[in-house]
C-alpha cells in the first residue's frame, strides 16, 4: 500500500508538472509569436527611416545599432519557437472533436440561446486532443461572455479547403506549417474551423486578421491579452494558425489546420497498443458524463480494435454491466460524476463481479479516494488530461493481465 501511495504521488506530481509545462509552453509560444510580429514590423519601419536618412546624408550609426538589437531579439524569439517541440498528436477526426466541444458548450447556454453547427463529417488533423478541446471551449465561452451579445446565437463551421501559395501569403503565414522553414510551393490541404455569430458569412481571406493583433486591444469587452497569447500558443502547438474576422473582433475565430498525413509518430505509438487478437473483439465500458471524452476516446479505441459501450453515469454503468455478464472486459470509470460518483459505482460493480477490471480516471480527486479503490482491486488509475497513447498503453497492459 505504501509503495503504491509513493508511486501514485510521483505519478500525480508528473501529471501536474506536465499540465503546468503545457500551459507555459502555450503561453510562451503565443508571446513569442506576437513579439516576433511586432519586431518584424518595427524592422520594416526602420528600413524606411534608414533609406530616408541616408538619402539626406544624415548619420545613421545609432539607428543601425538599434536595428541590430531588434534583429537579435527577433532571432531569439524565432529560436525559442523553433526549440519548443511541436506538440501535435495522433490523427484525430476534427469534426468528432468539435461535436463533443459543442455538446458541452450547449449545456452551459441559456435556454433562449443556441449554437448551430455545419461540420464536414471527416476532417482529420494531428492534434493534442485535450489541449485543443479545452482551447476551443474556452473560446466559445469567452466570446459569449465578453462580447455583450448574450441574446445572440452562434455558429461553428468546419470544412476542407485548398490554399495556394498566394493565399498563404494573404494569410501572412510567417514560415511554414508546424514551424518548418517556409510555406509550401504548391496547393496545400487545410481544415478550416470558423466560430462566428449566427448569420455571419465566413469572411474572405483578405478580411482575416492574425489573432495576435487582439493582444493590443484594451477596449471594454476585449479578451485579456494573456488569454489571447495562450490561445495563440495552444493553436500553434497543434500545428494550426488563428485569425479573426475584421468586422467581429473578440467575437470570432477562424482556425486553419493542415490536413493530417497518413500517419505520424503518435499514430505509430498508438498502433503498438492495438486490441489483442481473439475470436471476439474485447469490450470496454466507457463511463463518463463528459461528451468531449466520449466522442474522441471512443473513436480512437474503436480504431484500435475494441468494442465500446458508453454510459453517461454510474447508475447506467451498473445497469449495463449487470445486463451483460461476462461480456465486458474492462470498465474505464470517471471518478467524478453527478448522481452516482465513481467510488460508489466501483463498489457496486465489485458486488456484481469481484473480478471486474476497472481503470479509474479523473482530473480532480483526492489521494484517499484513489487509494481506496486501488486497495479494493482497481486495475489502475490515470489522471486527466492524459495522452491518448498513455490510455491505450494502460488498457493494453490491463487486458494482457490474467484475472
Find the mean pLDDT for residues 152-163.
91
Is residue 109 located within the same domain as residue 237? yes
Q: Which of 200, 234, 258 is the last residue of a domain?
A: 258
Is residue 157 located within the same domain as residue 237? yes
Average pLDDT of the chain, as a whole number = 81
Residue 16 lies in a domain: no
* pLDDT value of position 91: 86
Is residue 124 located within the same domain as residue 245? yes
Residue 11 lies in a domain: no
* pLDDT value of position 318: 95
Is residue 336 located within the same domain as residue 385? yes
Find the mean pLDDT for residues 308-312.
92
Segment 346-381, tens digit of pLDDT? 999 999 999 999 999 887 767 777 788 888 889 999
CATH number assigned to the domain comprising residue 386: 3.40.50.2300
Q: Which domain holds residue 50?
A: 22-83
Q: How far is CA 339 from the centre of its chain?
A: 28
* Dihedral over Cα of 116, 122, 126, 130: its sign: positive
Least confident of 29-38, 110-119, 210-219, 277-286: 29-38
Residue 3 lies in a domain: no
DSSP state of 194: E
| Rounded CA separation 285/321 (Å) | 8
* pLDDT value of position 2: 43
Band of residue 85 on the pLDDT scale cut at 50, 70, 90: low
* pLDDT value of position 102: 93
Q: Which of 49, 83, 117 is the last residue of a domain?
A: 83
CATH number assigned to the domain comprising residue 115: 3.30.565.10
Is residue 294 located within the same domain as residue 218? no
Band of residue 310 on the pLDDT scale cut at 50, 70, 90: very high
Is residue 64 located within the same domain as residue 195? no
Residue 8 lies in a domain: no
* pLDDT value of position 187: 65
Residue 14 lies in a domain: no
How many CB atoms within 10 Å of residue 118?
A: 10
Of residues 327 and 296, more confidence is placed in 327
Number of domains composing the chain: 3
Would you say 266 and 389 are in contact if contact means Cβ atoms under 8 Å apart?
Answer: yes
Segment 178-223, tens digit of pLDDT? 444 344 456 688 999 999 998 899 988 888 998 888 888 888 778 8
Residue 250 lies in a domain: yes
Is residue 254 located within the same domain as residue 105? yes
Is residue 108 located within the same domain as residue 212? yes
* pLDDT value of position 264: 67
How many CB atoms within 10 Å of residue 186?
A: 7
- How many CA atoms are closer than 13 Å to the CA of 290, on its beta-carbon side? 19
* pLDDT value of position 87: 58
The alpha-carbon radius of gyration of the chain (Å, integer) is 25
Is residue 113 located within the same domain as residue 208? yes
Residue 150 lies in a domain: yes
Of residues 309 and 43, more confidence is placed in 309
* pLDDT value of position 401: 78
Q: Which of 234, 258, 282 is the last residue of a domain?
A: 258
Question: At 273, phi and psi to the nearest 5?
Answer: -115, 30
Is residue 163 located within the same domain as residue 59? no
Question: At 208, phi and psi to the nearest 5?
Answer: -90, 140
Least confident of 80-89, 152-161, 232-241, 313-322: 80-89
* pLDDT value of position 226: 83
Q: Is 199 left (phi over 0), alpha (psi -120 to 50) or beta?
A: left
283-287 β-sheet, strand order: 307-311, 283-287, 330-334, 358-362, 380-383
Residue 11 has pLDDT above 50, yes or no: no
* pLDDT value of position 387: 81
Residue 10 lies in a domain: no
* pLDDT value of position 328: 95
Find the mean pLDDT for residues 383-387.
80
Segment 249-293, tens digit of pLDDT? 888 999 999 888 766 666 777 778 888 777 788 999 999 887 777
Is residue 394 located within the same domain as residue 312? yes
**Is-cis flag, bond preceding 303, omega within 30?**
no
Is residue 325 located within the same domain as residue 200? no
Amino acid at each position: 500500500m505504501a509503495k503504491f501511495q509513493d508511486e501514485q504521488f510521483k505519478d500525480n506530481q508528473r501529471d501536474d508538472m506536465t499540465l503546468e509545462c503545457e500551459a507555459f509552453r502555450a503561453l510562451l509560444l503565443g508571446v513569442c509569436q506576437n513579439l516576433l510580429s511586432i519586431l518584424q514590423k518595427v524592422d520594416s519601419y526602420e528600413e524606411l527611416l534608414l533609406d530616408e536618412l541616408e538619402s539626406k546624408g544624415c548619420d545613421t550609426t545609432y539607428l543601425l545599432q538599434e536595428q541590430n538589437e531588434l534583429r537579435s531579439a527577433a532571432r531569439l524569439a524565432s529560436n525559442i519557437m523553433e526549440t519548443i517541440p511541436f506538440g501535435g498528436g495522433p490523427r484525430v477526426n476534427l469534426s468528432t472533436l468539435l461535436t463533443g466541444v459543442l455538446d458541452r458548450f450547449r449545456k452551459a447556454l441559456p435556454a433562449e440561446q443556441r449554437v448551430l453547427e455545419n461540420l464536414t463529417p471527416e476532417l482529420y488533423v494531428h492534434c493534442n486532443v485535450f489541449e485543443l478541446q479545452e482551447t476551443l471551449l474556452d473560446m466559445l465561452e469567452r466570446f459569449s461572455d465578453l462580447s455583450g451579445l448574450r441574446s445572440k446565437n452562434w455558429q461553428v463551421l468546419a470544412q476542407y479547403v485548398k490554399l495556394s501559395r498566394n493565399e498563404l501569403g494573404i494569410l501572412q503565414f510567417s514560415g511554414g506549417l508546424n514551424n518548418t522553414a517556409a510555406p509550401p510551393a504548391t496547393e496545400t490541404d487545410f481544415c478550416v474551423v470558423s466560430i462566428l455569430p449566427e448569420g455571419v458569412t465566413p469572411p474572405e481571406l483578405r478580411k482575416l486578421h492574425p489573432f495576435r493583433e487582439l493582444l493590443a486591444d484594451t477596449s471594454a469587452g476585449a479578451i485579456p491579452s494573456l488569454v489571447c497569447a495562450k490561445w495563440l500558443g495552444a493553436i500553434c502547438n497543434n500545428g494550426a494558425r488563428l485569425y479573426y474576422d475584421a468586422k467581429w473582433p473578440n467575437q470570432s475565430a477562424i482556425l486553419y489546420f493542415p490536413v493530417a498525413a497518413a500517419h505520424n509518430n503518435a499514430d505509430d505509438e498508438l498502433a503498438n497498443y492495438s486490441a489483442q487478437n481473439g475470436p471476439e473483439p474485447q469490450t470496454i465500458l466507457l463511463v463518463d458524463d463528459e461528451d468531449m471524452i466520449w466522442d474522441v476516446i471512443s473513436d480512437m479505441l474503436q480504431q484500435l480494435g475494441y468494442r465500446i459501450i458508453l454510459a453517461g453515469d454510474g447508475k447506467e454503468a451498473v445497469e449495463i454491466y449487470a445486463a451483460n455478464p461476462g461480456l465486458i472486459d474492462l470498465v474505464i470509470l470517471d471518478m467524478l460524476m453527478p448522481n452516482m460518483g465513481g467510488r460508489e459505482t466501483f463498489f457496486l460493480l465489485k458486488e456484481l463481479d469481484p473480478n471486474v477490471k476497472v481503470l479509474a480516471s479523473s482530473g480532480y480527486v483526492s489521494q484517499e479516494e484513489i487509494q481506496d479503490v486501488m486497495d479494493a482491486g482497481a486495475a489502475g488509475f490515470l489522471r486527466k488530461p492524459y495522452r491518448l497513447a498513455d490510455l491505450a498503453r494502460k488498457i493494453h497492459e490491463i487486458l494482457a493481465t490474467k484475472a
